[in-house]
Structure 1
Amino acid sequence: MKILIVEDETGIAAFLKQGLEEEAYTVVMAHDGNKGLQLALSDDYDLLLLDWMLPGMSGIAICQEFRKQNKKTPVILLTAKDSSEEVVFGLQAGANDYIRKPFHFDELLERIRVQLRAKSGETSHEALQLGEIRMDLSAHLVYRNDELIQLTQREFALLEFLLRNKNRVCRRVQILENVWDSNYNYNAGIIDVYINTLRKKLKLEGEDNYIQTIRGVGYIAREV
């Protein structure tokens, strides 16, 4: 999932970038409105996170111009404004949601998840299944039979990608681009480390190894 953040306060921008990358999102940054609009229109994103007050062009103006191009990508405004009139104005400009500064990161994260679920058309109870493994996407939980399996955000994102592509070979470059970020200089060997960790946590071994290695290519999730 790829998120564009347009925020001119460097401390907040760094905080958001680090927090979202730890949640396995790919983050693109801009620190002024003109650059933010340029980036928003030049690439595809899953969500835009826009500060209201920006140098060059406000977040509201970015949102308005973005919507004029018939872009449907969800937009969340970050704002210190708190009057109901200003909030309504932001929503009328095309924003899907807003969050007031200062905010708790967990609240922002949940608002992002709500917008991404709505964008993808997920129902509140969407689940992915692979044999005895079940992923509850809305609750962000993984089970093997009735046992809750504790996964990190990156492990969860890797498993979700494999299950969404069940019975299809996932090449290493595809995994890096979708679970990590192709712009980062990650060694592809990191995938092997995470796959091995997933297998251990999910107790996948022998005939129950639902995540199989395709040597020299990548991995495939399939029921055996």
Structure 2
Amino acid sequence: MRILVIEDDNILREATVAILTGEEYIVDQTATGDEGLYLAEQGIHDVIVLDIMLPGMSGLEILTTLRNNGCAIAILLLTAKDSVDDRVIGLEAGADDYLVKPFAMRELLARIKALIRRKGNLIIEDQLNYGNLSLHSRLKDGFVDGEPLGLTIKEYEILEFLLLNKEQIITRDQIFDRIWGVDSETSLSVVDIYIHHLRKKLAVFELESVIQTVRGVGFMLKES
């Protein structure tokens, strides 16, 4: 799971990132609205933790832009403004949840986990399911009818990303940015190499075709 934290309070942002990293989430962070929008538009995150008051674009401007562009990423708004009107404005702009500062980190974690559980109704406890294919986050492995695939960490992360976005086209760039990072100097061709390895492991169970190639674009997890 990958989370983007957009928060200009350095102490709060660093504390949030530390807590989320400790929960084994992959976390990207920024303190400015403009960079936050750029990162959010890459489509590689599962949840965005978004402060309303930011230098540059405000959190509400980012939220409105993302929703107007069809972005469906789960967004949790953070704000110091404790009023009904502010909550309503944020929710009507498309926020999935709302948390008022100061807040307990336990509540932040609970809200994020709830948002992840809502994503496609795929998650049952620590498990993702699609047909007879399942992923177990604690074991970092995939299973077909209970039989392990024996995935490497990178293979697991790619398959998780595809499963979270089942039956949707995911570009090579999105996979690369999510798994290796937007600043990685690794070649984009590494995505195809890992997809090949994944298909070989799925082929043992005659499921290699569940990862479909969308020529010139990327890949999609879809049952034949």
Instruction: State the TM-score bracket (shorter-chain normalisation).
Output: 0.5 to 0.7
Match in the other structure for 1:153:
none
Match in the other structure for 2:141:
162
Per-residue deviation, residues 56-97 of structure 1 (Å, max 9, x unmatched): 011111000000110111000011111101100000011000
Amino acid at match of 1:157: S
Per-residue deviation, residues 172-212 of structure 1 (Å, max 9, x unmatched): 4324777xx645xxxxxxxxxxxxxxxxxxxxxxxxxxxxx
Cα drift, residue 117 of structure 1: 0.4
Q: How far apart, CA to CA, are the structure 2 residues paired with 1:114 and 1:158?
A: 18
Match in the other structure for 2:20:
20
Q: How far apart, CA to CA, are the structure 2 residues paired with 1:121 and 1:12?
A: 30
Q: How far apart, CA to CA, are the structure 2 residues paired with 1:16 and 1:39?
A: 18
Describe the shift of the 1:36–1:164 C-alpha distance in structure 2 as closer, same or farther (beyond 3 A): farther
Match in the other structure for 2:205:
none
Match in the other structure for 1:174:
155
Cα drift, residue 164 of structure 1: 5.3
1:6-155 matches, cutoff 5 A: 6-122=6-122, 126=124, 136-137=125-126
Q: How far apart, CA to CA, are the structure 2 residues paired with 1:50 and 1:70?
A: 17
Q: How far apart, CA to CA, are the structure 1 residues paired with 2:154 and 2:61?
A: 37
Q: Given that residues 143 and 149 in structure 2 are in contact (C-alpha distance below 8 angstroms), is that contact kept between their aligned partners in structure 1?
A: no
Amino acid at match of 1:28: D
Amino acid at match of 1:86: D
Ranges of 4+ aligned residues in structure 1 off by more than 3 Å: 163-167, 175-178
Q: Given that residues 3 and 25 in structure 1 are in contact (C-alpha distance below 8 angstroms), is that contact kept between their aligned partners in structure 2?
A: yes
CA RMSD of aligned residues (A): 2.8
Larger Rg: 1
Amino acid at match of 2:41: L
Q: TM-score, normalised by structure 1?
A: 0.62
Q: Given that residues 126 and 137 in structure 2 are in contact (C-alpha distance below 8 angstroms), is that contact kept between their aligned partners in structure 1?
A: no
Describe the shift of the 1:74–1:87 C-alpha distance in structure 2 as closer, same or farther (beyond 3 A): same
Gaps of 5+ in 2: 128-135, 161-178, 182-200, 202-224
Amino acid at match of 1:162: D
Per-residue deviation, residues 16-51 of structure 1 (Å, max 9, x unmatched): 111000000000111100110011112421011100
Q: Aligned with 2:57: secondary structure?
A: coil
Q: Which moved more, 1:42-51 or 1:97-106?
A: 42-51
Describe the shift of the 1:51–1:175 C-alpha distance in structure 2 as closer, same or farther (beyond 3 A): same
Describe the shift of the 1:164–1:10 C-alpha distance in structure 2 as closer, same or farther (beyond 3 A): farther
Gaps of 5+ in 1: 127-135, 139-155, 184-217, 219-224
Cα drift, residue 167 of structure 1: 3.4
Match in the other structure for 1:195:
none
Cα drift, residue 168 of structure 1: 2.2
Match in the other structure for 1:152:
none
